[in-house]
Amino acid sequence: MPDFLPGAIQIVHEDRDILVVDKPPGLLTAGVPGDDADSVFREVKIHIRNKVKRRGTQTWIIHRLDKEASGLLVFAKTEKAFESLKEQFRAKRAQRIYVAVVEGEVGKPSLANAAASVHPTSPTSGTIQSFLIEPDEGIVRSIPRPSGPRAEGEPDAKHAVTHYRVAVAAFGRSMMHVRLETGRKNQIRVHMKDLGHPIVGDRRYGAVSDPLERLCLHATELGFSHPTTGESLRFRSQIPASFFKLVGRKPTDAPIPPIDAAPIATPAPRDRRAERTERRPEREEQEDRRVRPEKGESSVSWDHVAEWYSGLIEDRGSDHHERVIIPGTIRLLDVRPGLRVLDVACGQGLLARRLSAAGARVVGVDSSPKLIAAAKAGVAGGDGVFLVADARSLANADLGMEKFDAGCCVMALMNMDPVSSVVAGIAARLVPYGVFVAVMLHPAFRSPGQTSWGWEMPPGNERQPARPGRGRAGGGSARSREPSAAKQYRRIDGYLSSGQREIVMNPGAVAKGAKPITTVTYHRPIEHYVRACAGAGLLVSAIEEWASQRASEPGPRAAEENRARREIPMFIAIKAVRVPKPG
């Protein structure tokens, strides 16, 4: 017999560390501090205090559900459990799946999108992503991307990603499974409105019907690792029977297929891609950039950036590409004559031509017509085929070859979102045991805005080093007479929290009054890329970390700069193999 707390709150699971409950609609997860209003948190605290029979017993909130929604919540009963669960939610290792009934039959011509980037391959499944502005009070707003500096007092625009899949569409409504990749306030409600299909009963976000006198949103699955034992736990709450009635089904009908825990690979939101840089004057991390402007930017701006990037790599060259990236990629791909290679986000075709020179049969794809034109212009003797194609919808694209022996995505994957769509598309084009290689700036040590070089001064000499010079790893000019005993280190201000950052691609021109050309780069910890590979049926077989091969100009600090540069990797390479499904 299920246990219930006051307010029809069902206890789903309880042990010494955690408490999982099923919340009814119409009840707050938690009130504001100092408010003794009815809430799940209030009843949970009373329950735990009465059970332990000890004053000062604490309980911790991990996540929340809207008052109008129902479903699963987990609370921590110990500080250790709290820290573990918060970290799992922050790092997106926890799984949250919802069921929503929305207005309209999704997939009909009424599918619309005014604020988010929704381009599903199938109209009945996809991904919605936008930036949400969460005011202290009022309705959450969705915008395609932040534009211009934030006004004083205006809340940050936070990146939000929602995956969905329609299960039943009938009687003018659709029941769908929804999986959160980020957990923002009212995220599902706002994104369903963006999709053109607000949740039934959600008049706050555009619904015109309320047959059940409640918001038709239910948190049906919750998964995480137990904070003490490490055991994988997955809890399920029955979908309300009333939801089925809205779409003409019975709960006893054939089960509705849920969204898999792995990311859905059908969407094709905007591709924002640029090779990363940090906000520092060092050329070492500023040279290798590619940019994709947002929709609505002028073609003049894109022409300028595409030509600039092409000239940067081809004419002036990049020693990172020549000495580190290209040789390492060719080695991991195990290139041999006749090998069929798909080069995703190939840019102007530098790597593709090197692969062709080694005997491979290469198809290079990029969503930029300008860069593909530059790639074709650089082809001699028919080396390689270059096509305009979206990296997130490769599974069914016409690439001239049905299957490939290998695929690669070099210095671009960190600037595409959702990354799962890119990896899944590449995996779909690989033969069994085909190889995939991804190379990117190291997420731990080179994340834009979250990492920087610093110097630890020897005792008795606290004077700061001179400004970095050209080609230096980060400290003093060649003429510096600072003591050589100083130690250089890499400061890491953040890693596990995923996020995005706008990068200004033309800072020199902006300093002279030009309009900034910006793109968004996405930070993800390494585990996200491994998870994307696993979800696409790829087995990670190697991870390599590559350091810069540059050397500092002679000077008192050159030896320490060179040591730090060799110790702190600049790039990471992931190699994975497509494992065929049994049978």
pLDDT tens, 323-372? 889 989 999 999 999 999 999 999 888 899 889 988 999 999 998 888 88
CA atoms 120, 126, 129, 132: torsion sign: positive
Q: Please say if 66 is a catalytic residue.
A: yes
DSSP conformational letter for 199:
B
Q: Domain 3-108+162-246 adopts which CATH fold?
A: Pseudouridine synthase (3.30.2350)
On whether the CB atoms of residues 315 and 348 are closer than 8 A, the answer is: no
On whether the CB atoms of residues 129 and 418 are closer than 8 A, the answer is: yes
On whether the CB atoms of residues 498 and 456 are closer than 8 A, the answer is: no
pLDDT at 258: 53
Beta strands at 217-225 and 232-236: parallel, antiparallel or unpaired:
antiparallel
Q: How many CA atoms lie within 13 A of 26 on its CB side?
A: 5
Q: What is the C-alpha separation between 332 and 518, in angstroms, rounded?
A: 32
Q: What is the C-alpha separation between 359 and 260, in angstroms, rounded?
A: 40
Q: What is the C-alpha separation between 568 and 561, in angstroms, rounded?
A: 11
Of 100, 134, 138, the closest CA to residue 214 belongs to 100
What's this model's pTM, rounded to 2 decimal places? 0.62
pLDDT at 410: 95
Alpha-helix runs per DSSP H in 177-298: 187-195, 241-246
Phi, psi of 319, deg, nearest 5 = -65, -25
Q: How many CA atoms lie within 13 A of 580 on its CB side?
A: 6
Q: Per DSSP, which regions of 335-403 are E strands?
A: 340-344, 361-366, 385-388
Q: What is the C-alpha separation between 250 and 329, in angstroms, rounded?
A: 54
Q: In the chain, which residues have pLDDT < 70?
A: 1-2, 34, 54-56, 108-123, 136-137, 147-154, 253-318, 379-383, 460-484, 505-508, 517, 583
Q: What is the C-alpha separation between 348 and 321, in angstroms, rounded?
A: 13
* Long-range contacts, stretch 387-390, CB < 8 angstroms, 24+ apart: 387/363, 389/365, 390/268, 390/271
413 CB-near residues (< 8 Å, 6+ apart): 345, 419, 422, 423, 438, 440, 529
390, with CB counted inside 10 A (0-12, 13-18, 19+), is buried
448 CB-near residues (< 8 Å, 6+ apart): 276, 277, 278, 279, 501, 503, 521, 523
Beta bridge mates, 158:
132
Of 26, 67, 11, the closest CA to residue 237 belongs to 11
Phi, psi of 427, deg, nearest 5 = -60, -35
The CA–CA distances, whole Å, from 111 to 57, 104, 140, 216 equal 50, 9, 21, 19
3-state DSSP call for residue 499? strand
On whether the CB atoms of residues 404 and 340 are closer than 8 A, the answer is: yes
Helix axes 326-333, 350-357, angle to 10 degrees: 50
Q: What is the C-alpha separation between 47 and 70, in angstroms, rounded?
A: 20
Q: What is the C-alpha separation between 386 and 342, in angstroms, rounded?
A: 10
Q: Domain 283-578 adopts which CATH fold?
A: Rossmann fold (3.40.50)
Cα angle: 21, vertex 22, 23; to 5 degrees = 110
Of 410, 300, 404, the closest CA to residue 361 belongs to 404
Phi, psi of 41, deg, nearest 5 = -60, -40
The pair of structure tokens assigned to 296 is 């609505």
Phi, psi of 181, deg, nearest 5 = -95, -30
- Catalytic residue (choose from 17, 36, 66, 493): 66
Beta bridge mates, 388:
366
Q: What is the C-alpha separation between 205 and 200, in angstroms, rounded?
A: 10
Q: Per DSSP, which regions of 58-214 are E strands?
A: 60-61, 70-76, 95-103, 125-133, 141-143, 157-170, 173-180
3-state DSSP call for residue 60? strand
Q: What is the C-alpha separation between 295 and 282, in angstroms, rounded?
A: 30
110, with CB counted inside 10 A (0-12, 13-18, 19+), is exposed
pLDDT at 574: 97
pLDDT at 147: 66
Beta bridge mates, 97:
179, 221
**Domain chopping of the chain, boundaries:** 3-108+162-246, 283-578
